[in-house]
Amino acid sequence: MNRDSRIYVAGGDTLIGRALHDRLHAAGYGRVVGEPPHEPDLTDGRQVEDFFDEARPEYVFLVGGMSGGIEMNRARPAELMRDNLLGAAHVIHAAHEYEVRKLVYLASSCSYPKFAPQPMAVDSLMTGPLEPTNAAYAMAKLAGWQLCAAYRQQYGARFATAIPANSFGPGDDFSPEGGHVIPGLIRRAHEAKRRGEPELTVWGTGTPRREFLYATDVADACLFVMRHYDAAEPINLGGGTDLSVAELARAVAVTVGYTGRLRFDSSRPDGMPLKALDASRLRGLGWRPAADFRAALAETYAWFLHHVVTEDAEHGRSPVSIAVPDSPRRGRSRPRLPDGQDQESGASVDRTGGGVSRRL
């Protein structure tokens, strides 16, 4: 892949898709095709085929697909599974038909068995039952990996699968239904601070542990894999910060400036007890994450204040009642936190049920 290659990020309006576009442009790749709002609906096979026929991408990052927090996974499993299955099937087939030089498919750490040995290694995939709260989504992601492997086996296609740790960052989904653990907890901690509430409830016991990777690091790892990894076996994109949900909640509270009490509701589901990735293969190839977790968390909250809260106020909505991330705004410096904001922390809280589960 060189600076003149035609590159397509399928799912450019996702958190990782935005981060990939930013990193590609920053690195001088000048022929990125299909950027939102000009990319096809991945669930529409005709649109995808027409796009590939016209744009003729040479390299594809497949990072799209509907995703959500624990509540969405419980309420809309059929939509989540269907959306991801269709998107993977259409893009992977079109990449083969139009002779894409290489494709990197982003799966999910949810696809590991619920009780996989930790840290999770790729040889644990499909060796046990999935976490029930996100089984439909996880199964779709497993199917995407297997489809890549099948095209590689039958046609010799250079289709590789990568599995990232839980990602977060500016441009994330902060909505009540779609937000994952970090954006959901940022939103709720901010609401509680604004309302002066003395207590915030976090779903579950607080004991499950998760590994978190900043979106820019995930994007950099995807670029690294595109350049340096080519095998049927998936590769884990890990090496980020490992925190319990309780530690995460306290860190988010400090970042947001919420000083009330955190209460953990053990009647709510915990999800997988531990979810960290064995990234030894990626490290062996020479990649390491660059972001500091506390600084990344502060940047994420600053983006939330500047985009979500500000835009809700401008449109006359109750602050953070709904929040759909906007398109990436290239060339703008990231907003700074208000004077006095503590940037030396990183975790999260939950009041209405976004929960502690996540797609990645």
Which amino acid, one-letter code, is at 187? R
Average pLDDT value over all residues in the chain: 86
Q: What is the pLDDT of residues 273-301, one digit of tens each?
A: 788 999 999 999 999 999 999 999 999 99
Minimal CA–CA distance to 66: which of 45, 40, 87, 93?
87
Q: What is the DSSP string of 217-280?
A: HHHHHHHHHHHH---SS-EEE---EEEEHHHHHHHHHHHHT--SEEEEETTS---SSEE-B--H
Q: Which helix (H) or strand (E) holds 147?
A: helix 135-155
Q: pLDDT: is 340 or 261 the higher one? A: 261
Residue 339 has pLDDT above 70, yes or no: no
The answer to whether 240 and 289 are in contact (CB under 8 A) is yes
pLDDT band with cut points at 50, 70 and 90 for residue 303: very high
pLDDT band with cut points at 50, 70 and 90 for residue 268: confident
Residue 350 has pLDDT above 90, yes or no: no
- Mean pLDDT calculated for residue range 10-34: 96
How many CA atoms does the CB half-sphere of 205 hold within 13 Å? 8
Residue 312 has φ and ψ, to the nearest 5°, of -65, -40
Q: Which helix (H) or strand (E) holds 154?
A: helix 135-155
Residue 331 has pLDDT above 60, yes or no: no
Q: Which helix (H) or strand (E) holds 326?
A: none
Question: CA–CA separation, 360 vs 355, rounded Å?
Answer: 14
pLDDT band with cut points at 50, 70 and 90 for residue 327: very low
Q: pTM to 2 decimals?
A: 0.84
- Nearest 10 degrees: Cα torsion 230, 235, 239, 242: 170
The answer to whether 172 and 359 are in contact (CB under 8 A) is no
Question: CA–CA separation, 303 vs 293, rounded Å?
Answer: 15
Span of 86-90, 99-103, 148-152, 309-313 with lowest mean pLDDT: 309-313
Q: Which of 29, 105, 112, 137 is catalytic?
A: 137
Minimal CA–CA distance to 141: which of 185, 229, 77, 52?
77
Span of 63-72, 150-159, 231-240, 242-251 with lowest mean pLDDT: 63-72
Angle (CA) 52-228-111 rounded to 5° is: 75
Q: What is the pLDDT of residues 189-211, one digit of tens each?
A: 999 999 999 999 998 899 989 99
Q: What is the pLDDT of residue 181?
A: 86
Active site annotation includes 105: no
